[in-house]
Amino acid sequence: MKKVERINIIMRYINNRAHFTISEIMREFNISRSTAIRDIREIEAMGMPLVAEVGRDGGYFVMRNSVLPVVRFTDNEVKALFIAFMATRNQQLPYLKSRQSLAEKLLGLISENQQDDLSLLNQILLFEGTNPNNPDLLDLSDLPHPMLEKLIQILLMDSYLLISIEEEKEIKSYPIYLLHLYREKSLWLIEGFDLKEEKKQIFSVDHLTDVKPYRAEKRLSKKKILEKLSKQEEVINLVLELGPKAIAQFRKYHPIKVSISYTSPYQTTAILKTFININKPEELTEITNWLLFLGGDIKVREVPEELLEGLQERLRLYCP
């Protein structure tokens, strides 16, 4: 256990007791006497009001009506939190209203000088996707789909869901085991194992009309689901070697399910392996556009014929 973590736990331990001794701290946390004494002194220095009792069986007690010291942020910690909030403006995040109240509390905790620094940062910093006409951190500028928070609340209790999706003006229901909830290209997506069709499916949260736990008697165990998924594992059909310029582009943007493995100690070369579903025209178009975005610093080891034809056609349009 790290020292900082240990001291935090000791603080909670002694704050809930009327009296304690060094021997108790040694036994409870399996530390030496000198370490226990050092930790107690640090806790006293942090502001916890401890009173020592003199004598053979003496120890310490916490003064009545005492509480743990108030959490205080350093200047750098405040800036880190604030910039993290700024970087996620206009991002259709869940719990946006709670984020607003959290930001207000943060601003209320800090000094006027710190507030002035944050005000200046708010004026000069812009992030990708931020609307410059909406610079106020506390504005609820881009609320997510109202079903997103309900979905997350249910997911915290159960991954077996019955979701209702609007498809071509018709509501369809799907029993799923949720694998991932993720955001890509400004859209929230559900990746789930369809318990009826027994295959992986992707659903848009924007089309979600209802979500509730799926009844227990018709569920497959998680073990069986993973076994079925492993048997359906997609065969890799796109393999690329990336140079430093392509890696830089990859870091700017890449499809969430595509990853690279670095092949040099300084991360200047990498290899990309993934599966492209050639039966989905929209996926072929998306990957074609993305490969052009990566630029010319790539070497193709393996590529589906359909994707290669799409790339060649696009290049002919650009370079007649």
116-125: long-range pairs with CB below 8 Å, 24+: 117/75, 117/79, 118/78, 118/79, 118/82, 121/79, 121/82, 121/83, 121/86, 122/82, 122/86, 125/83, 125/86
* pLDDT score at 320: 59
How many whole angstroms from its chain centre is CA 36?
Answer: 37
Domain residues of the chain, as ranges?
A: 3-62, 75-124, 147-231, 238-318
Give the strand order in the sheet containing 170-184.
199-204, 187-194, 170-184, 160-167, 208-213
For 153-188, letters b (16+ CB in 10 Å) and e give ebeeeebbbbbebeeeeeeeebbbbbbebebeeeeb
Neighbours of 309 (CB within 10 A): 13
Rounded CA gap, 156 and 135, in Å?
Answer: 33
What integer pLDDT is reported at residue 73 of this predicted model?
72
Q: Would you say the pTM of this structure is higher than 0.75?
A: no
CATH topology assigned to domain 3-62: Arc Repressor Mutant, subunit A (1.10.10)
Are residues 135 and 181 in contact, defined by beta-carbon separation less than 8 angstroms?
A: no
- Specify the pLDDT at position 242: 96
Q: Longest C-alpha distance within the chain, in Å?
A: 94
Query: Cα–Cα distance between 167 and 186 in angstroms, integer?
Result: 20
CATH of 147-231, one of 3.30.420, 2.40.128, 2.30.30, 2.60.40: 2.30.30
* Rounded to 5°, angle at Cα 21 from 15 and 27: 95
List average pLDDT for each run of 10 residues in the chain, which is 320 residues long: 80 79 88 89 79 68 59 78 82 79 77 84 78 60 81 92 90 95 88 93 93 89 90 87 95 88 92 90 89 92 90 76
